[in-house]
Amino acid sequence: MKISVIGTGYVGLVSGVCFAQMGNSVTCVDIDTNKIEKLKQGIIPIYEPGLEDMTLENYKKGTLSFTTNASEALGNSAIAFIAVGTPMGEDGSADLQYVLAVAKTIGQSMKKYMVIVDKSTVPVGTADKVKAAIQAELDKRGESIEFDVVSNPEFLKEGAAIQDFLHPDRVVIGAESEKAMDIMRELYAPFMKHHDRFIAMDIKSAEMTKYAANAMLATKISFMNEMSQICERVGADINRVRNGIGSDSRIGYSFIYPGCGYGGSCFPKDVQALAKTAKDFGYNPRILDAVEAVNYDQKYVMSNKVIARFGENLDGKTFAVWGLSFKPETDDMREASSITIINELTRRGAKVVAYDPKAIHEAQTHYLKGNDRVSYVESKYEALKGADALILVTEWQEFRSPDFDEMKKLLTNAVFFDGRNQFKKEKMHANGFEYFQIGVN
């Protein structure tokens, strides 16, 4: 099939590359000329395991191309994916200006029947707005061209997006016509050779499914983080509690690890957008509001532990930070807990020496830009030299089995704040560390 993917951000690029991998002819479109030129040169704007190699492979084969000319790409396509950003507005709602701008372009450019797919995470009712925007442009042209708008929410995990796309646990499609549904079923058939995980539904239910899924996962995280706060106060150990409840098959172990709070491009934005939608329709989403409030507070837990140990005035103190990205296997720092932790320490006079395998550039150029009390190093041990304590924020694999003797040699004080509860308290004390965890007194 000939496919256009409008938007070469995280979702758009991964989707386009994976569709090309299955033999489709895919054109990725973006208004950012610099980004498109870099993609043509094999320079990938994001870090995602396997994405660079697969992009280069399909670009060389000719199944994948990049352009800024949306009209040309759309004129030759049977399916157009809208995969542009939906940033959070000041009131928490999803900003649809980019989605509707693409819809307008599609209406100006389409020459034959098309399936237009909302791949961006959008509120319930967006498909109707996209359909109206396209139809308005066709009316201006005096054209009567049939089209269908479909909702196909993405469920990609950053750090495992290629695997998730090639081997999906479900493909959710919301459509009004059997014709559009059949086309989408054919498009995704190569991804389901062994198991049919195609879930067909109405458009609004598909739009809602994405928000409900992310809200549920965020709820599990905030619930466990709230339990960790109770555990600390009553003298229980959240790690043991997690084992105790996770063994229940109705609960399971996924997303019940205590930590510094969730971040990234999805959970914070989607929880707030869903809450805003609920309020717009006259419902007070008490659970969603609580999930967001708990997460906000959780991002301050680790910095508060440091302040409780070293005092409010941190002048002359230096802290090593391991991990900047909001999760491992990505360079994404959007809404990352590390930002809050580092800013809370540096505004009290501390210096921070940070290490992350992939996210240092993002920190320097965007999220911690201008904070001259933060420096960056190229290895985890280099960050420890002369530091008063270590703060582990992101659970990258290379932090799982460090050399504790080497750490003690490099640190001024053998003080370790573990924001991901990676080690057993008894083991760390035996190794001579003053060791702080979340949810453990």
B/e letters for 333-362, b = 16+ CB within 10 Å, e = fewer, are bbbbbbbbbbbbbbebebbbbbbbbbbbeb
Listing DSSP states for 65-118 in one string gives EEES-HHHHHHT-SEEEE-----B-TTS-B--HHHHHHHHHHHHH--S-EEEEE
Q: Which of 18, 231, 260, 266 is catalytic?
A: 266
Residues 16-46 pLDDT 10s: 999 999 999 999 999 999 999 999 999 999 9
The reported pLDDT for the residue numbered 89 is 82
The per-residue pLDDT for range 307-357, each reduced to its tens digit, is 999 999 999 999 999 999 999 999 999 999 999 999 999 999 999 999 999
Q: What average pLDDT does the segment 429-433 reach?
A: 95
Per-residue confidence at 430, pLDDT binned at 50, 70, 90? very high
Nearest-angstrom CA–CA distance, 6 and 246:
41
pLDDT, residue 201, reads: 97
pLDDT value at 74 more than 90: yes
Q: What is the pLDDT of residues 102-141, one digit of tens each?
A: 999 999 999 999 999 999 989 999 999 999 999 999 999 9
Residues ≥6 apart with Cβ < 8 Å to 119: 5, 11, 12, 15, 81, 82, 83, 152, 153, 154
pLDDT tens per residue, range 260-312: 999 998 999 999 999 999 999 999 999 999 999 999 999 999 999 999 999 99
Task: Supply angle C-alpha 304, 308, 309, rounded to 5.
Answer: 120
As a whole number of angstroms, the distance between CA 404 and CA 319 comes to 17
- On the question of pLDDT at 94 being above 90, the answer is no
Going from the C-alpha of 59 to that of each of 42, 52, 374, the distances in angstroms are 9, 11, 39
Whether 266 is catalytic: yes
Alpha carbons within 13 A on the beta-carbon side of 342: 31
Q: Give the pTM.
A: 0.91
